[in-house]
Chain A
Amino acid sequence: MSEATVDAGPDDPRKAGKFVYIAAVVLLCAWVLVPLYFLLINTLSSPEAVNAFPKRFVPEFDLGSLTFFAGFEGMLVALKNSILVAAITMVMSITIGAPAGYALSRFDFKGKGLFRLLILLTRAFPLPLLALPLAVMFIRTGLDDTVFGLALVHTTLAIPFAVLITFSLFSGIPIELEEAAWTLGCTRLTAFTKVVFPLILPGITASAIFAFVISWNEVFAAAVLTIENRTLTAFLLQNLDTSPLHLKFAGGFILVVPALIFIFAVRKYLFAMWGIANR
């Protein structure tokens, strides 16, 4: 379809269509990028400039706001907590989720349908709501207000994705490869470590990063379950009414950075992951 349009002659009415098409693409790109650019301007400007009016439309490359952010009481701790929770979530959701993904892709077993339903249910439920009763449960077990406790909730959020994504990744590895390894002297375990694992590693990394971002971005459960050990999102949310603009924008910017890296890192897998996770 696109090739036909490229070859169109100069007087072809399709040329106008082509122009509209390109304009629309550029416009939609701008729609995504311009708000991000505004945030960048605010982040790389001094606190005075951020609160001034009217705004300049180019950043002044002043690190004042970011320095203020770093120096703000509790902010660096919150940042550290965010990273910690996300890292634990990443490790837990993959180590717990990947075996199930493997089982779904390789075995037919009784209860498989029920199990898939359980996984899909979790994805269809407003999960952060579960933070409420968990808050009570955690107080009883001493997990309240801990990084690990929150990571458990975030893992619940990330697990359905981990299972479905690894399921689709494992399904992409022909079972013949494993069978060949078995006939060549491998046990189930060595066939996995020598053949399946090396092939799946990039995809696993992508889904691990996905789990990281799910946790990194989560606001509600983090706000409900932490008091002293706030994560960055919870901290920013709590201080929305009181904190100055430049603090909000610098915080917002720090929140956005991993997202940019994440989408870049997993771009190859994004569509493959969803293509099958659909079913």
Chain B
Amino acid sequence: MNPRILPYVLILPVTLFLCLFFLYPFVLVSKQAFSTGAGFTLENFQDVTSHWKFPISFKNTLLLAAAVVPVQLALALLMATMVNGMGRGRDLVLYVWTIPLGISDLAAGIIWLAIFEQSGFLNSMLSGLGVIDKPVSFLSYQHPGVVFLAIALAEIWRATAIMLVILVAGIGLIPKEYYEAAEVFGASPWKRFWRITLPLLRPSLQTALVLRVILAFEIFAVVAALGGTLFPVLMGETYAYQFELLNGGAAAAIALIILAISIGFTLLILRILRVPKGASI
């Protein structure tokens, strides 16, 4: 076949597929959000944002992302650096650390439910140590802080692995000579991390942060499993509008709000961590 046409033939299926199931529904969701049946309107947005639950779920979503993502970043960086210097056992440790990568948010929620529920392992441990006499109902409205903590822990537990993988791959791309050179010039391990690893890791940090932040705004099943209605988040509201209130327009409006936040943060991360032209490895 003509080599000029061939690449287009090869990308045609994906392009068609994405047009049909990505771009087209995206247009639909925008249309739905901006209309109530007759013409362009912002009514759906006014509806959802004026609802009493919106500010709470908005705040909760952002708060959760703000609490979870930095911890994950620090943890992933720490793990990646630790793995980097490891000789024997590296593969095993990496396998263990990346297990959560394949675990769904729902399963992660259920796993942490086993710890935090009333007859769960946390209560069992605390009563075994004599700290409490009878099991505490942690995941209830009396303990909003614990609910938040449980959700945050489950998220950190589950989704640090994806950052770890991206960062380990990124560190693997940094030539060892740079470290050796820095060491010869007298840089301590700590200095080497700040002066070499971090700056050269910027492309990977970008990817990892963008991916994580976007997913953090989409948090849904972990919250459903652990907090239920105690801890409303944006994605849960979307689900509720669609199913319980059968209000597609409102669901679409929240969906677009989540999208807007995601894009905003993506651009911000790309801007902060941009690599000057020609300064990449």
A interface residue numbers (CB < 8 A to B): 1-3, 6, 21, 24-25, 28-29, 31-33, 35-36, 38-39, 41-42, 50-55, 57, 95-97, 99-100, 102-104, 106-107, 109, 112, 115, 118-119, 122-130, 132-137, 152-153, 155-156, 159, 163, 188, 213, 216-220, 223-224, 233, 236-237, 240-241, 245, 248-249, 251-252, 255-256, 258-260, 262-264, 267, 270-275, 278-279
Contact = CB atoms under 8 A, between A and B. Distances in A.
Interface string B160-176: 00000110111011000
Interface string B189-204: 1000000000000011
A32 B114 CA distance: 14
Interface of B: 1, 3-4, 6-11, 13-15, 17-18, 21-22, 24-26, 28-29, 32, 78-79, 82, 85-87, 91, 93-107, 110-115, 117-121, 123-124, 127-128, 135, 157, 165-166, 168-170, 172-173, 189, 203-204, 207, 210-211, 214, 217-218, 220-221, 224-225, 228, 235, 238-239, 242-243, 248, 251-252, 255, 258-259, 262-263, 266
9 interchain residue pairs of minimum CB distance: A259-B102, A217-B104, A252-B110, A133-B28, A103-B10, A54-B124, A275-B169, A107-B7, A55-B124
A138 B268 CA distance: 36
Nearest to A223: B239
A263 B114 contact: no
25 contacts: A32-B97, A35-B111, A35-B157, A39-B114, A53-B118, A53-B119, A53-B135, A96-B13, A97-B14, A99-B11, A99-B14, A107-B7, A128-B220, A130-B21, A132-B248, A217-B105, A219-B106, A220-B220, A241-B228, A248-B113, A255-B104, A255-B106, A272-B169, A274-B169, A278-B169
B118 to A, nearest CB: 8
The A contact surface, by secondary structure, is helix
A107 B119 contact: no
